[in-house]
Amino acid sequence: MKKNYKHSPVIFLLVLLLIFFTVFSIVSVEARKHHTKKSKIHHKHRKNGGGNKAPDCSDSPSPAPSHGCYPTQSPIFDISSFGAKGDGVSDDSKALEGAWEAACKVQGATLHIPSEFKILINPITLQGPCMPNFILQVDGILLAPSKVGSWPKSSFFQWLNFKWMHNFTIQGTGTFDGQGYNWWKLSQIDYFQEMKTSKSIPDIKPTVLRFYASYNVTVRDIKIVNSPQCHLKFDNSKGVKINNVTISAPESSPNTDGIHLQNSQDVEIHHSNIGTGDDCVSIQTGCSNIHVHHLNCGPGHGISLGGLGKDKSVACVSDIIVENVNMESTMYGARIKTWQGGLGSVKNISFSNIQVSDVKVPIMIDQYYCDKHVCKNQTGAVAISNVKFNQIIGTYSAKPIHLACSSSIPCTDVDLIDIQLKSSLNYRGIQQGLCWNSYGKSQAPLLPSSMDYCVRRGSGFVRRISRSHENVCS
């Protein structure tokens, strides 16, 4: 009895080990069954156009890149799964609509256009609101219709129209191509003659990408080229970030603004390259808290506020910062332009650290803006105040400065600080700039030295005249 009792702990330990291995084997088999079942479901979802598992950014040894890497389990909707041909000839509009409708309903979804695809899309509205953190990943090429007459009458204003989008990103290594060559070839006379003979030609040239009433939108890394008119437009939007985009069109292409903002707030545009036939960035009425920095601009018309106040309309623009910009071979540099007869105000504007090379007129305020041969003289004007031009350095080809303020409402608190401008090798103008009814202060160095007389010391009376016209924007 004593002998058997002595060996009982060993037997008890062996029994415990046997039980442990039996339970472990059962759990392992069940886990493998669950994994196999999950894989089958996932594979079936992919065949139906649903989410591929995206790369896991957490495994990356370095910070995640701006495209190609998404949070784990982020569903990817590939446009090829929705019937897209991707040959650049077939109309893939229905495939894009289908992929958009499916991805829009899933949080964190990515709609993917692969790099080998050329997608021909007719004018389309892609509408939200969608589930948060929706990404349009464009690595291929999207093509607008090349023939002017093929555009439907319902698409007067834009090619790709994004409405009511929140927490949305467009990114990728791909290109949006507006194929605007045939639009540009039409002269004003030819254009209106063709409109009389063809009911299918829109009376307004379209924008490539337009956002309306959208919030927290990011556009990054993509290329937008050859738009019939504006390339990227934001209307009534807020919380916009534009980063590392390339926008290009020939210098001769008319009205092809790079980025156009209207009634939009809290916008940042940075580290991008823009060269078109019009303004690199155009800031219109209703805009405030706009920050433009680290931009290469040219060719084109520079960075412009306006034209504002057309047809006696009210214009309100405030809190604009433009800094660390390179402008090369542009028509203008830092510009504010308003129509005669307008109402409202432009205030708290800063242009600083801008390098100009062979720019016709680097510094401009023009309150007599007119896009016709003759415009009617009017006494009213948009009031301009608190504008700073600081560290504008480089070369000009026409004249260094043009400050043409309204005769009835002077520009006030206009500061010229550290302006160093020399005539370029293509110089065909005058060294003396035009300065009229502008008040503020100047601070050396100033080159040409004649700019020291461009701004006069303003009295309280002058400021009261200007401020009395700002109340409409309060």
C-alpha 87 chain-centroid distance: 28
Question: Which residues have a catalytic role annotated?
Answer: 278, 301
Residue with tokens 């990227």: 232
User: How far is the C-alpha of 200 from the C-alpha of 148, rounded, in Å?
Assistant: 9
User: How far is the C-alpha of 166 from the C-alpha of 134, rounded, in Å?
Assistant: 9
* Among the listed residues 316, 254, 262, 311, the one whose alpha carbon sits nearest the alpha carbon of residue 279: 254
Query: Distance of CA 144 to CAs 34, 165, 224, 257, 258, Å?
Result: 47, 22, 11, 17, 17
Cross-strand bridge partners of residue 434: 402
- 114, 92 contact by CB (below 8 A): no
* Among the listed residues 41, 35, 107, 118, the one whose alpha carbon sits nearest the alpha carbon of residue 70: 107
User: How far is the C-alpha of 54 from the C-alpha of 67, rounded, in Å?
Assistant: 12
* Among the listed residues 177, 183, 223, the one whose alpha carbon sits nearest the alpha carbon of residue 203: 183
Query: Distance of CA 452 to CAs 194, 321, 402, Å?
Result: 52, 23, 13
C-alpha 213 chain-centroid distance: 14
Q: What angle do CA 329, 330, 332 make, to 5 degrees?
A: 140
| 35 Cβ contact partners less than 8 Å away, ≥ 6 residues apart | none
User: How far is the C-alpha of 383 from the C-alpha of 471, rounded, in Å?
Assistant: 10
